[in-house]
A and B are shown apart, each in its own frame.
Chain A
Amino acid sequence: MDKVVEACTRVEGRGNLNIYLKNDEIYQTELSFSVFRGFENILVGKKLLDIPKIVSRICGLCSVSQTIASCKAIEDLYGIDPSNQSIMLRRLLLSGELIKSHIMHYFFQFFPDLLKIFKINTEINGPYNLINYNPHLTTNVFDLIKIGSEINKLIGGRVLHPITPIPGGIIFNPTQKNLFFTEKYLKKGIYYIETIIENFIDLFSAFDPPTEYNLSNPIYFGLKNNMGFDRYQGDLRIEQNETTYDDFQVKNYSKYFDKDPNLYGIMFKSNLKNEVLTGPIARYKLNQNYGIDKIPEYLSNFGKKWKSNLLFLNFLQLIESYYEIQKSVEILNTTSLKSKTKLKQLKSIKKSNGIGIIEAPRGILMHHYHLNKAKIVDQVKLFIATEINLPILNKMITEYAKKLNEKENINSIKEKIQIMIRAFDPCISCASH
């Protein structure tokens, strides 16, 4: 048996592509991580108020999601809910993070691949070529990344590893100036994201996406909220198809999936026929309606072939960014935001299990902390979107590699498989917590 290892580029974190060969035939392909940091162990024995600050350091792109999931888990232990104002501010922070994370991936990591897949431009071989490919698009991208960062700085106190979200709410002392600037940035952002979406439609919607990127009936997994598309709260849904699904409360999760904190990977327990997918595509399938006027019009540029194809994820990243900007403007226009927040007191711990869940940019993120009798954290389980998506990713890249093996050499296979890995937008930092 031979193994070919190639370091992945243009992905978040450090990952390797492993290709296993038997008699020159590819029989398995996987994305692997070279480093595990052991955050689940680090957190054992830590003071509850310390935990959000530590888990933030799991990931520099999803630090807001990690911090807020952690705060929610701790609030669950204390049996408190933060004020509506705090929740609105947390949503704003999550939006800032999503915009930055999605747009960075879309442009720097995947746009050159999209141009290559559809044979529009195969010459982009570095960031310098990329930013000069379409300077107008580049300007809009940089401005949107800046908007995401600015929101996080104004509301979170720092561009990443936010300071303000704490168990009990979010520290916020608004000034007219910071509210004014946040709104001003966001309103400009609507124009920028519209331009990027229209550019995507112009460039790619006339093509059929390549069939090797087709998703063959994955199980969609995400938050389901009666109010519609929502990344902050809701019940969980595992959907096999539109008529077969399980809805359950987050506290009952272990009936459906679980993990051993000392082992790698998340096990789904029910008799699922296919692999599970979480993230933008699952959120779209589970909710369909984003509740924003222009979005159905944008989506109507793409037919069924696109909507069951992995490459659609990259269009949905733009749609979600658009949605979050619009929602953020709505939040900013509510009057209750304009006063200083009141934090809930952390009086006494009510439970021994605390669970906090949100939809991070790449999908479900759940923290579960268990306390011993002395009310000290003795077990931590972190459920990370990229870990959930790893089986479907590995299945798709293996199938694709086997198909390529018939007519292409190993270098070309490595390149094409890497493109497919990037299409998933894996967050290796999070997954190698």
Chain B
Amino acid sequence: MKLKFLITSLTTCTGCISTLMSLDIFPQFLERTKIEYFPFISDNLEIKECDVALVEGCVSEKNQIEYLQEIRKNAKKLYALGTCSAFGGILSLSNKKESYPISKFVEVDGIIPGCPPPSILLGNCLLRLVENKKIKLSLKNMCSTCPLNNHAKLDLPITIEKIVPRNDEIRFPGENLSCFLNDGILCLGPITRDGCDHLCINQGLPCEGCLGPVSKGFIANLINFLSLFNLSKNLRKYKGIYYRFSKSHVGGKV
């Protein structure tokens, strides 16, 4: 029995759907499922009953709430696809525009985080969904498997001076790169969920936290995390260091 899928977007860059369509398993996914609604590649505009709904993008407009509720009514399971949908996403940086994760308005059965979700994570999640299984995310933080973990000898409190290394400071793991926090560079690894194979860290850059928090206790974690630091003067008023990808309304079963 093929499961029926609904895939759609709210306010978004379409990056999660484009990642989904670039997966090795995308042809297999199309063969093994029945696509009921997928406006990016299909003409049907009628929301029908489905087994799994994947929604990318944040809620930024009033009419999206009704649309989302209509999807929820018709979907046995609803998953937030990507960081905008799961946490509010990049528009959280805006002063003028509100952006919310979908879990503020409807119950969510799970999230597939990332900006975009890492291909392996997304591929594994999709395969499980096609087989009507629950998706699994790591319950550990980035540091737990970080290639630089052995180099972390944190001398607290740390003074954070920079959000990225200078161009001449960029090193790769294996080239005497030490933990970014040691060097006074903000890395969100300690409060970010593991699951991307350290894409940024492997390029010599700190974690930006695009996979979002590990648990619901994000705010508490964040406050604990911040208490370890002194922020240098030039960063104190800088908006969007910690909340780049998330509004504080973090919810849903994760």
Whether A37 contacts B11 by the Cβ 8 Å rule is yes
Whether B15 contacts A35 by the Cβ 8 Å rule is no
B189-200 Cβ-contact flags toward A at 8 Å (1 or 0): 000000000011
Complex partner residue of B14 from A61, A100, A157, CB under 8 angstroms: A61
Whether A429 contacts B30 by the Cβ 8 Å rule is no
**Interface membership of B22, Cβ < 8 A:** yes
Whether B168 contacts A343 by the Cβ 8 Å rule is yes
Chain A interface residue count, CB cutoff 8 Å, equals: 60
**Interface membership of A336, Cβ < 8 A:** no
Whether B97 contacts A37 by the Cβ 8 Å rule is yes
Whether B27 contacts A344 by the Cβ 8 Å rule is no
* CB under 8 Å from chain A, chain B span 137-189: 163-164, 166-168, 170, 172
Whether A47 contacts B167 by the Cβ 8 Å rule is no
B82-116 Cβ-contact flags toward A at 8 Å (1 or 0): 00000001110111110000000000000000011
| Complex interface: chain A residues within 8 A of B97 (CB) | 37-38
Q: Which residue of B lies closest to A112 (CB)?
A: B43
Whether A160 contacts B38 by the Cβ 8 Å rule is no
Whether A47 contacts B163 by the Cβ 8 Å rule is yes
Whether A127 contacts B38 by the Cβ 8 Å rule is yes
Whether A54 contacts B203 by the Cβ 8 Å rule is no
Whether A163 contacts B45 by the Cβ 8 Å rule is no
Q: Which residue of A lies closest to B84 (CB)?
A: A57
| Complex interface: chain A residues within 8 A of B27 (CB) | 131, 138, 142
Interface window among A144-152, A364-372, A402-410: A144-152
**Interface membership of B16, Cβ < 8 A:** yes
* CB under 8 Å from chain B, chain A span 149-165: 149, 153, 157-161, 163-164
| Complex interface: chain A residues within 8 A of B45 (CB) | 7, 9
- CA of A57 to CA of B199 in the docked complex: distance in angstroms? 17
| Complex interface: chain B residues within 8 A of A47 (CB) | 163, 238
**Interface membership of A59, Cβ < 8 A:** yes
**Interface membership of A134, Cβ < 8 A:** no
- CA of A178 to CA of B41 in the docked complex: distance in angstroms? 32
| Complex interface: chain A residues within 8 A of B202 (CB) | 157
Complex partner residue of B60 from A10, A35, A42, A158, CB under 8 angstroms: A35
Once A49-B163, A161-B116 are accepted as A-B contacts, the answer to whether A61 and B18 lie under 8 Å apart by CB is yes
| Complex interface: chain B residues within 8 A of A54 (CB) | 90, 93
Q: Which residue of B lies closest to A126 (CB)?
A: B42
**Interface membership of A23, Cβ < 8 A:** no
**Interface membership of A345, Cβ < 8 A:** yes
**Interface membership of B40, Cβ < 8 A:** yes
- CA of A175 to CA of B56 in the docked complex: distance in angstroms? 34
**Interface membership of B3, Cβ < 8 A:** no
Once A61-B14, A158-B199 are accepted as A-B contacts, the answer to whether A10 and B42 lie under 8 Å apart by CB is yes
**Interface membership of B12, Cβ < 8 A:** yes
**Interface membership of B124, Cβ < 8 A:** no
Whether A166 contacts B167 by the Cβ 8 Å rule is yes
**Interface membership of B250, Cβ < 8 A:** no
Whether A104 contacts B18 by the Cβ 8 Å rule is yes
Whether A429 contacts B12 by the Cβ 8 Å rule is yes
**Interface membership of A199, Cβ < 8 A:** no
Within the complex, what minimum Cβ distance (angstroms) separates A432 from chain B? 9
Complex partner residue of A41 from B14, B44, B95, B200, CB under 8 angstroms: B95
Once A104-B18, A126-B43, A157-B200 are accepted as A-B contacts, the answer to whether A131 and B163 lie under 8 Å apart by CB is no
**Interface membership of A249, Cβ < 8 A:** no
4 A-B pairs closest in CB distance: A60-B15, A343-B167, A149-B22, A60-B13
Known: A9-B43, A146-B22, A345-B166. 5 other contacts (CB 8 A): A7-B39, A42-B93, A60-B16, A63-B13, A159-B22
